[in-house]
Amino acid sequence: MLEFTQLKQNRRKFLALTGLTLKEFHALLPAFTAAYVRKYPRDRTVIGRRRKRQPGGGRQSALNTMEQKLLFILVYQKTYPLQVVMGELFGMSQAGTNHWIHRLLPIIRSALTNIGVMPERDGRQFARTERRTNEPREYIIDGTERRRQRPKDPEKQALFYSGKKKAHTDKNVLVVNTRSRRVGYLSPTCAGKTHDKKAADREQIAYPKRSILHKDTAFQAYEPKGTQTHQPKKNLVGKS
């Protein structure tokens, strides 16, 4: 069973399972706790009724601390296992796992929003959002793919099949600040077959003026207004 008190002793494993360092985990924990208490006050039951007994009475939850709750939802978000696997990892049933996933997903989203690290989802608002930060206007844009279940419909199979990954995938376009490594923009999900530049053009991403934008060959001819783009050139040494 995964427990925070034990996992924190192995920093490499902690990072691999949660996607956060221990320092980043502790920075997120207060916002997560505040969001949880706002959503689920201690004097109320799960369905919102006033408690008839003191909090803590009855059976103890497998996620009995805020650290354990945050660990649970971070592991789910990072590894995205089957719910039955999550149940085995945290010592609960599949039904209990499903309950906690749906209970904690809005909490982690609210916490990340409150500390200002949730990416912008509307491309046309990206410049306005970035102007609120004091970070250098230097970004890198890239497309990222993740595997999905193979569709049964032949037309959908062709749509989601990515020749690049040789698998059926979903795709998102990311814009990341190169200095802070913060994900500033996350596009809506599209089919893995969609070309990176086409996906970026469709979202009409607005960048702050005088931004520096790094890109790869998948964004050839992608020249957003007000940006200075940089694209690496292939090394031709050894080629005839």
Joined together, the tokens standing for residue 182 give 């913060």
What pLDDT is stored for residue 46 in this prediction? 64
Joined together, the tokens standing for residue 136 give 């250098």
Could you tell me the mean pLDDT of each successive run of 10 residues in the chain, 240 residues long?
93 94 95 94 71 64 91 94 94 94 95 90 94 92 90 88 87 94 93 93 95 94 94 69
What pLDDT is stored for residue 111 in this prediction? 95
Rounded CA-CA distance 238/240 in Å is: 7
DSSP-assigned states of every residue in the chain: ---HHHHTT-HHHHHHHHSS-HHHHHHHHHHHHHHHHHHS-TTB-TTSPBPSS-TT-SSPPSS-SHHHHHHHHHHHHHH---HHHHHHHHT--HHHHHHHHHHHHHHHHHHHHHTT-SPB--GGGHHHHHTTS-S-SEEEEEEEEEE-PPPSSHHHHHHHEETTTTEEEEEEEEEEETTT--EEEEPPPEETTS-HHHHHHHHTPPPPTTEEEE--GGGTT---TTEEEE-PPPP-TT--
Q: Return the ∠ at Cα 78 (arms to 190 and 38), rounded to 5°.
A: 95
The tens digit of pLDDT for each residue in 45-77 reads 666 677 666 666 556 678 989 999 999 999 999
Burial class (CB in 10 A: 0-12, 13-18, 19+), 9: exposed
What pLDDT is stored for residue 202 in this prediction? 95
What pLDDT is stored for residue 68 in this prediction? 96
Exposed e or buried b per residue across 66-97, where buried means at least 16 C-beta atoms within 10 angstroms of its C-beta:
ebbbbbbbbbbeeeeeebeebbebbebeeebb
Joined together, the tokens standing for residue 10 give 């192995």
User: Nearest Cα to 197, choosing from 178, 177, 224, 176?
Assistant: 224
* Phi, psi dihedral angles at 92 (to 5 degrees): -145, 170
What pLDDT is stored for residue 163 in this prediction? 83
Rounded CA-CA distance 223/217 in Å is: 12
Joined together, the tokens standing for residue 59 give 């059976």
